[in-house]
Amino acid sequence: MAKKWVYLFSEGSADMRDLLGGKGAGCAEMTRAGLPVPPGFTITTEACNAYYDSGERFPDGMWEQAMDALKHVEGQTGKKLGDAANPLLVSVRSGAKFSMPGMMDTVLNLGLDPETVAGLAKLTDNPRFAYDAYRRFIQMFGKIVLDIAPELFEDQLEAAKQHSGSKTDADLDSDSLKTLVTTFKGIVKKETGEDFPDEPYKQLEQAIMAVFRSWNNSRAIAYRNNNNIPHSLGTAVNVQTMVFGNMGNDSGTGVAFTRDPSTGEKKLYGEYLLNAQGEDVVAGIRTPHHISEMEREVPRVYQQFAEIAQRLEQHYRDVQDMEFTIERGKLYMLQTRSGKRGADAAVKIAVDMVQEGLIDKQEAVMRVEAAQIDQLLHTRVDPNAKYKVIARGTNAAPGAATGQAVFTAATAEEWGKAGKRVILVRPKTDPEDYQGMIASQAILTSTGGATSHAAVVARGVGKPCVVGAEAIHVDEVAKRFSVDSVVVNEGDMITVNGTTGEVILGEVPMIPPEISSHLGQLLSWADDFRKLGVMANADYPRDSEKARELGAEGIGLCRTEHMFMEVDRLPIVQQMILAKDQDTRQRCLDKLLEFQRQDFIGILRVMHGLPVTIRLIDPPLHEFLPSYEELLVEVTTLRCTNGDPKRLKEREELLDEVAQMREANPMLGLRGCRLAILFPGITEMQVRAIFEAACILQKEGVEVHPEIMIPLVGHVNELRIERDKLEKVAKAVMQEQGVSVDYKFGTMIEIPRACLVANQIAEYAEFFSFGTNDLTQMGFGFSRDDAEGKFLLKYVEDGILPFNPFQTLDRDGVGELMRIAIERAKTTRPDIKLGICGEHGGDPASIELCHELGLTYVSCSPFRVPVARLAAAQAALTKGEKDR
C-alpha cells in the first residue's frame, strides 16, 4: 500500500506533532474533541522531506491522497473547489513540529478565479467582499508562490486608495477592487511572463510547493539555528476551509491566550478585530481591541469562546494560544497550541498549575526552560528614578533596556555586531526583521498589539518590548521618530520599559533583578530533585553575597589574581615582579599579604558554613605589567622627540624587563602551578593569607571551609611539589594561631594530559575541578583569545561545529576527557570531590552532561546560579526518566 502522506483532521491527534506539525495536530485534536474547526487536512512533514529528497517533486501518491481528502472536505462543507455556484476556498498554511511564528509562509483565499469570484459575490450578496478576497489572494500568491516583490502590489494598493480618496483598505469600493485585481494580474504577467493561474487545482499545487519551500527560506533557517530546532524536521502543510472574519460587523477574528503570556495571570488575554481577517491582527496594521471588550461587543460568541478556551487548557494541561474567526456570528477555532510565554509567566504558570492540581512538581520543574529564567533576573528601571516618559504602549515583553535608537533591522544588526547597545524602533516588525531584533537590546513599535510579530518574537528571545506606542510617529526614511515636539534621531539614547510599556528619553537608573516568590518556589522544588551541587564563581565579597542570595552552596572558583589587578595593589604587584633582590620582593609580598588576608576574610565570612574554593594565581606575570607594544611606542616616541631623559631611561628599563618576560604563546607558557614553582613566594603568601583569614574568623566563631586549588597541573610531580610546600605553610599558620581549620587541597583539571594521568594526580588531590575553558582550548587546540573572533563563529554558522564549544561542552571530545579523568581518579580515590568551574558550569546542556558524568557540583557566575539549579534538576529528572 502507498505511504500515507495526507491526514484528514478527523484522522489525526495531539500526539502526532512529529508527523502533522503543531498546527495540524492541534486542529486534529480539536476536531476530535467536537470543537467547531473548519474542515481540512494535513500533508505530513515526511512529505515535505520527501519533496526535497526527490528534487522538489511531490512524492508518489501524495497529490492523489490530497485530492481524496479534498473531496472529503467538499462533502463536509457542501462546497467545491472551482465551483462557480458554490466555491470552496481554502487556506494553505505551514506548520512545523515546533512553532516558528511568522517564519514560514501561508496562502489564504485559494480557489478564487474570475468565475468563482463572481459566484462568491452573488452568494454573499457582497461583491466588495468577494473582490477584496480576490485581490488579497493574488497579492499573497504573488509574493509567496511567485516570489514577486510585495511593494509592487502595495504601491498599487496605495495608488488605488489615493485615486478613490480612501483612507484605509476597507474604504475601497468593489469597482476600485475590481480594477486593482486587473492591475495585480498585470504585475504578475510582467514579473513572471505568465498569466496568473486561474485554475484552482494548479493554484493548490503551487501553493503546497511554496509552503514546502518556505521551510528553507533564510529567516526560517536563522530562526531554527537560534532556537536549536533541527533542520531535518520539515514542515507540514494544512489545507483548510476558509472562514471569513471580514463579512461585516457580526464577523471578526482574533488571537488569545488562556493566561497572560507576559505576567502569567489567569485570565483570557489577547486581541480581536471585528470585520477583519487574521492577517490584520497579526501584522499589526490596525490596532486591535483587547479580548475583554469582546464580551460587550459579541457576548454570546465570547461566552462560547471562553468555555472552549477553558476546556482546551484543561485538556492539554497547559496554556493555549488560540486563533479564532467569527463568520456571521458563528465561532470557528482555527488553531490551538501551547502558548509561548515570557520567563516571568512561565514560572508563575508552572507554579500556579501545581497549586491548581493540574500538573505535579516534577512537571512544573520540567516546564520552564532553564535558559529562560536568565531573563527573569532582568534589569528593571529603578522605581525611585525620575525620568521623562515620552510615550506609552503595550508592555509586550518584560525587562528594561537603554540603547541608541535605530530604525532598520539592518542597522540594528550592524551596530549590534560592532558592540553598540541599540533599540530597534519600527512602525511594526516583520519576519524579515528577526536578525535585527535579536541584535537589539529592546524593541519598540508604534502599532500592533501583544500578539503582533514584534511582541511574540521579543518574548521568545527575552528582549524587553513595547508595542503599539501610537503617540510616536516613526519616519523610517529620515531615521527618526517624533512624539509631539520631541524628536529622537538615529543614535539618540532611549530607554524602553517592557514591564510597564513606557518609552523614556535618555538613560535611566536601573536596578538589578531579584528572585520572585514564584521563582523561589520553583527553584526550591528543583533543589529537591537535583543531585548536582551548585556553587558560584566569585572573586569578591559582594559577588559572594549575591551568589549566596541566589542559592549558591559555596564558591567553586575564586580567581585570586583578580585581586592583584585592583588599582591600590597593582603598583605593589608590579614592584614585586620587577624586584631586583629578595628583600624588596619580600617587602612587596608582605604588603600584598595584608590585602589578600582582608579579601579572604571578606569572602569566607560571607560564605560562612560553606566551602570556598580558592584558586591560586594563574596568569603569567607579564599580564600585570604594561603592554610591550605600548611601551615600545612610548620609548620610540621619547627617543624621536628627545623627550624627558629620566622618563626615557625608566621606560627603557621597563621595556627590557617586559621583553624578557614575553612569550609567544602565553596561554601555554609560564602560568599556573609552573609560575608558582618558579616564584614560590607568591603562592606561599596567598596560602598564608587564606589560613590567617580562616583562623581569625574561626576564632570569631565563623565556620570556614577553605579549599586550596592549584591550577594548570599536567604532571603529578607539579602537584606533589606544590602541595607539599603549601601545606607546610598552612600547618605553620594554624600552629601559630593555635587553630585547626577544616581544609582541602585539590587541583584544576584543565590540561588533557592531566585527564589521562588522573589516577596519579588524585593521590595528591582531595578534589578535582574541571577547568573546561582551558580543557576546551587545549583539547581542541583552539586559542581561547582568538578562535571566536577568527574562525569559530564561522565554523558554527557553516555547521562544521554544532555549537560554540566554549559555551556548551563538547560531549564527544572534552566530555570524554572528563569521563576518563573521573574513571581513573576514582581508582585511586573513590570518594574524590568532582566539580566544574569553566564557563560551561552555567550552561544547561553542559550541566546535563555533568550530571551524567556524576560530578559533585557545577560552579558558575552568580547570576547563572538559578539557571544551574533548575538545569541540574531537569538533568536529574530526564536521566531518571531515561533509566526507567
Q: Where on the chain is the footprint of ligand PEP (CB under 6 A)?
A: 557, 559, 618, 750, 771-774, 837-838
**526 touches, from Mg ion, ligand PEP, none (C-beta below 5 to 8 Å by class):** none
Task: Quote the least distance from Cβ 599 to ligand PEP, whole Å.
Answer: 17
**553 touches, from Mg ion, ligand PEP, none (C-beta below 5 to 8 Å by class):** none
Task: Quote the least distance from Cβ 223 to ligand PEP, whole Å.
Answer: 32
Side chain identity at residue 683, one-letter code:
T
Task: Quote the least distance from Cβ 761 to ligand PEP, whole Å.
Answer: 16
Contact window for Mg ion (CB under 5 A) among 192-200, 260-268, 461-469, 767-775: 767-775
**21 touches, from ligand PEP, Mg ion, none (C-beta below 5 to 8 Å by class):** none
The answer to whether residue 620 forms part of the interface with Mg ion (CB under 5 A) is no
Closest CB to ligand PEP among residues 548, 559: 559
**837 touches, from Mg ion, ligand PEP, none (C-beta below 5 to 8 Å by class):** ligand PEP
Closest CB to Mg ion among residues 392, 674: 674
Closest CB to ligand PEP among residues 113, 618: 618
Contact window for Mg ion (CB under 5 A) among 50-58, 332-340, 766-774, 793-801: 766-774
Task: Quote the least distance from Cβ 781 to ligand PEP, whole Å.
Answer: 15
Q: Cα(607)–Cα(615) distance, rounded to whole angstroms?
A: 16
Q: Cα(586)–Cα(579) distance, rounded to whole angstroms?
A: 9
Closest CB to ligand PEP among residues 618, 722: 618
Task: Quote the least distance from Cβ 712 to Mg ion, whole Å.
Answer: 7
User: Of these, 533, 771, 815, 862, which contacts Mg ion (CB under 5 A)?
Assistant: 771
User: Of these, 271, 352, 543, 774, which contacts Mg ion (CB under 5 A)?
Assistant: 774
**810 touches, from ligand PEP, Mg ion, none (C-beta below 5 to 8 Å by class):** none
- 27, 558, 588, 837: the active-site residue: 837
Q: Classify 258 as helix, strand or coil.
A: coil
Closest CB to ligand PEP among residues 251, 537: 537
Question: Which DSSP helix (H) or strand (E) runs through 846?
Answer: helix 844-853
Give the burial string for 738-767 (b: 16+ CB within 10 Å, else e): ebebebebbbbbbbbebbebbbbbbebbbb
**126 touches, from ligand PEP, Mg ion, none (C-beta below 5 to 8 Å by class):** none
Catalytic-residue membership of 837: yes
Task: Quote the least distance from Cβ 748 to Mg ion, whole Å.
Answer: 6
Q: Which residues does 255 contact at the CB level (< 8 Å), separation at least 6?
A: 270, 271, 272, 278, 281, 282, 321, 322, 323, 324, 451
Contact window for Mg ion (CB under 5 A) among 167-175, 462-470, 743-751, 816-824: 743-751
Q: Per the structure block, which three cell numbers stand in for 162?
A: 489615493
SS3 content of the chain, % helix, strand, coil (to 5): 50, 15, 30
Task: Quote the least distance from Cβ 859 to ligand PEP, whole Å.
Answer: 9
Query: Please, what is the angle between helix 628-640 and helix 645-661, to 10°?
Result: 150
Question: Total number of residues binding Mg ion (CB under 5 A)?
Answer: 3
- 378, 453, 518, 840: the active-site residue: 453
Task: Quote the least distance from Cβ 841 to Mg ion, whole Å.
Answer: 13
Task: Quote the least distance from Cβ 835 to ligand PEP, whole Å.
Answer: 10
Q: Per the structure block, which three cell numbers stand in for 290?
A: 483587547
State how far Cα 173 lies from the chain centre.
Answer: 46
**111 touches, from ligand PEP, Mg ion, none (C-beta below 5 to 8 Å by class):** none
Give the burial string for 33-60 (b: 16+ CB within 10 Å, else e): eebebbbbbbbbbbbbbbbeeeeeebbe
Task: Quote the least distance from Cβ 615 to ligand PEP, whole Å.
Answer: 7
Task: Quote the least distance from Cβ 713 to Mg ion, whole Å.
Answer: 11
Closest CB to ligand PEP among residues 18, 623: 623
Contacts with Mg ion in 161-220 (CB under 5 A)? none
Closest CB to Mg ion among residues 92, 709: 709
**559 touches, from ligand PEP, Mg ion, none (C-beta below 5 to 8 Å by class):** ligand PEP
Task: Quote the least distance from Cβ 324 to ligand PEP, whole Å.
Answer: 52
Angle at 840 (CA atoms; ends 837, 845), nearest 5 degrees: 135
Closest CB to ligand PEP among residues 634, 718: 718
Whether 518 contacts 524, CB under 8 Å: no
Closest CB to ligand PEP among residues 105, 750: 750
Closest CB to Mg ion among residues 59, 771: 771
Closest CB to ligand PEP among residues 559, 651: 559
Q: Classify 567 as helix, strand or coil.
A: coil
Nearest to 41 by CA among 56, 16, 53: 16
Side chain identity at residue 452, one-letter code:
S
If one counts every other C-beta atom within 10 angstroms of the C-beta of residue 717, the result is: 12
Q: Which residues does 789 contact at the CB level (< 8 Å), separation at least 6?
A: none
Q: Cα(807)–Cα(785) distance, rounded to whole angstroms?
A: 14
Q: Cα(439)–Cα(122) distance, rounded to whole angstroms?
A: 51
**772 touches, from ligand PEP, Mg ion, none (C-beta below 5 to 8 Å by class):** ligand PEP
Closest CB to ligand PEP among residues 559, 622: 559
In a 10 Å sphere around its CB, with 0-12 CB exposed, 13-18 middle and 19+ buried, how is residue 230 labelled?
exposed
Give me the long-range contacts of 156-160 (CB less than 8 A, separation at least 24).
Answer: 156/180, 156/183, 156/184, 156/187
The answer to whether residue 59 forms part of the interface with Mg ion (CB under 5 A) is no
Question: Which DSSP helix (H) or strand (E) runs through 93?
Answer: strand 90-96
Task: Quote the least distance from Cβ 289 to Mg ion, whole Å.
Answer: 57
Largest CA distance in the chain: 105
Side chain identity at residue 275, one-letter code:
N
**220 touches, from Mg ion, ligand PEP, none (C-beta below 5 to 8 Å by class):** none
**352 touches, from Mg ion, ligand PEP, none (C-beta below 5 to 8 Å by class):** none
Closest CB to Mg ion among residues 387, 780: 780
Binding mask 698-737 for Mg ion (x = CB under 5 A): ----------------------------------------
Q: Per the structure block, which three cell numbers stand in for 72?
A: 472529503
Bridge-based pairing of strands 380-381 and 330-338 is: unpaired
Contact window for Mg ion (CB under 5 A) among 159-167, 268-276, 690-698, 745-753: 745-753
List, as one string, the DSSP characters of 420-447. Answer: --EEEEESS--GGGHHHHHTSSEEEESS
The answer to whether residue 750 forms part of the interface with Mg ion (CB under 5 A) is yes
Contact window for Mg ion (CB under 5 A) among 96-104, 160-168, 515-523, 749-757: 749-757
Nearest to 706 by CA among 599, 823, 625, 634: 599
**409 touches, from ligand PEP, Mg ion, none (C-beta below 5 to 8 Å by class):** none
Q: Cα(493)–Cα(351) distance, rounded to whole angstroms?
A: 38
The answer to whether residue 539 forms part of the interface with Mg ion (CB under 5 A) is no
Q: Dihedral of CA 346/348/349/350: which sign?
A: positive
Q: What is the 3-state secondary structure (H, E, C) of 808-844?
A: CCCCCCHHHHHHHHHHHHHHHCCCCEEEECCHHHHCH
Q: Would you please indicate which residues are annotated as catalytic (active-site) residues? A: 453, 837
Q: Which residues contact Mg ion (rule: CB under 5 A)?
A: 750, 771, 774
